[in-house]
Structure 1
């Protein structure tokens, strides 16, 4: 993980969504890379990345049913 809070955030998302930690970690890393590429302000990146990963997991579950 690229920043200190990432591990705790990934664990929280995995617990909330009942998704394996490895999957959430990979999604988080990919989303972080996409969002941080060229970003000048990093202050809210953790919040934005967390929100996107949660949304993506919700959408994956909706589409699976």
Structure 2
């Protein structure tokens, strides 16, 4: 059974709202993270989920928040 397609815009907007970070910043970071994970992945089903978690964690710990 095929996995549902990830809606990147929804993921980016959710992370932006949760971390109070501009969506452009989140989009760039998410895209870069997905690309990085895909280079070594053998199974791609969870790449979007893992990338979203990594981006959230990165933004929460680096203080990349707008004032």
TM score, norm. by length of structure 1? 0.82
Contact 2:33 2:55 in 1 (8 A): yes
Runs ≥4 residues deviating over 2 A: none
Partner residue of 2:60? 58
Number of residue equivalences: 60
Residue 6 of structure 1 and its aligned partner are, at CA, apart by 1.1
Structure 2 spans left out of the alignment, 5+ residues: none
Q: Highest relative contact order (Cα 8 Å, sep 6+), 1 or 2? A: 2
